[in-house]
Every structure is written in C-alpha cells, then in structure tokens.
C-alpha cells in the first residue's frame, strides 16, 4: 500500500511519456532524493538510454502526424513500461503484490496512452502545428510536475493523476468526431499512396 500511489502515478505518466518517467525516477534515486526508486532504474546505462529516447520523443511528439505515428508505435511500449516500473517500485521479486502493482501500472498506462493518442488525433485535424507543440509541452511539464510531486506527496499526486485521467476520458468523448475525421484522412492518404505505388498496366507510348 505504501507504494500504491506512486505506482498509479507512474503508470499514468508512463502512458504519456514513459521515457521521462524512467529518467526522472532514476535521477531521483541516483541523487538520493527518494529511497523508493529501485537500483535497476538508477543504472547509468538505463539513464543514458532513457535520456536519448526522451529527446527523440521530445522532438517527434511536437510534429503533426509524426506524433500519431510515434503514439501508434508506443501502444505496447508505454503500457509495458508502466507495468515494469510499477513492479520494480513494488519490489520486483515476482510475488503477488508485485504482480498486482504491475497490473495497476500497466493498465493505467494503457488508458492514459489511449487518451493521449486519441487527443493527438483530434489535434491533428487542425492544419497549424502550434497546437501540437503546445499540447506536447503541457504534457511534458505535467508529467515532470506530477511525478516529482509524487516523490514528496504520493497520495496527493495520485489524486491529481486520477483526476487528469478521468478529465482526459471526458475530453476524448467530446473529440470523437474529430478523431473519426483524422482516421478517415489517414485512410485516404494510405489509399492514395497505394494507388501511386501501383505501376501502370498500359505500355508507354
């Protein structure tokens, strides 16, 4: 129970930016800010890889349509990362509490990821790129702020994360029409590319 709020918060944050969660927790553990962070997340190689991938996401997440491709590729990565981080926070020895923590972290990360990916689809129906940059910046700051807050006030941070998750689901319901529009546009572009790639059956001349 002592790590449950941190597990939930890290799961929510992993669904938005899994690399930022690993990087932040690892830094907090390595610098002695928190004793809750397992040694495996504090390893130098883990921090370096998480840092590089975080920088990649920092860029990709702000480019229209590229962000949705990135989200699609991370549909499995973010929930798995949330589950692994949660299990490590709970002990990581394979016991029932650790498995339960992994389930909580993974499922929370999955829901959070779906909210983010759906919201980005709706945002991408707008022709200008500034909304993507603003949305990504707010997400990055939100993850950093809530995860940091969770180290010192885990239950309050978990409440904030839960509130944001529910709010995101409500917003997602209102954006359903825009999401369908984005999916139609993407299907049309794929069909156009497929037709362009098909060689002509008529001989030249």
pLDDT computed for residue 205 by the predictor: 46
Rounded to two decimals, the pTM is: 0.83
- Per-residue pLDDT tens for 20-33? 999 999 999 999 99
Please identify every stretch of the chain with a pLDDT value under 70, giving residue numbers as ranges. 1, 92-96, 127, 186, 190-195, 197-205
pLDDT computed for residue 65 by the predictor: 83
pLDDT computed for residue 113 by the predictor: 94
Distance CA 4, CA 6 (A): 5
Q: If you write DSSP's letter for every residue of 81-147 in order, what string do you get?
A: HHHHHHHHHHT-SS-HHHHHHHHHHHHHHHHHHHHHHHHHHHHTTSS-SHHHHHHHHHHHHHHHHHH
Read off the tokens for 117: 């990916």
């Amino acid at each position: 129970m002592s790590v449950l709020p941190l597990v939930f918060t890290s799961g929510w944050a992993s669904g938005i930016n899994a690399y930022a969660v690993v990087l932040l927790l690892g830094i907090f553990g390595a610098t002695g800010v928190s004793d809750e962070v397992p040694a495996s997340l504090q390893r130098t190689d883990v921090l370096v890889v998480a840092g590089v991938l975080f920088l990649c996401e920092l860029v990709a997440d702000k480019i229209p349509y590229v962000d949705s491709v990135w989200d699609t590729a991370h549909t499995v990565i973010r929930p798995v990362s949330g589950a692994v981080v949660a299990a490590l926070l709970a002990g990581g020895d394979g016991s029932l509490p650790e498995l339960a923590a992994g389930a909580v972290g993974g499922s929370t990360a999955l829901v959070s990821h779906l909210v983010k990916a759906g919201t980005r689809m709706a945002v991408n129906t707008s022709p200008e790129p500034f909304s993507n940059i603003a949305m990504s910046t707010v997400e990055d700051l939100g993850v950093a702020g809530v995860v940091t807050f969770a180290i010192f006030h885990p239950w309050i941070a978990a409440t904030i994360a839960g509130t944001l998750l529910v709010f995101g689901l409500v917003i997602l319901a209102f954006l359903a029409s825009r999401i369908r529009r984005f999916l139609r546009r993407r299907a049309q572009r794929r069909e156009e590319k497929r037709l362009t790639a098909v060689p002509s059956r008529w001989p030249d001349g």
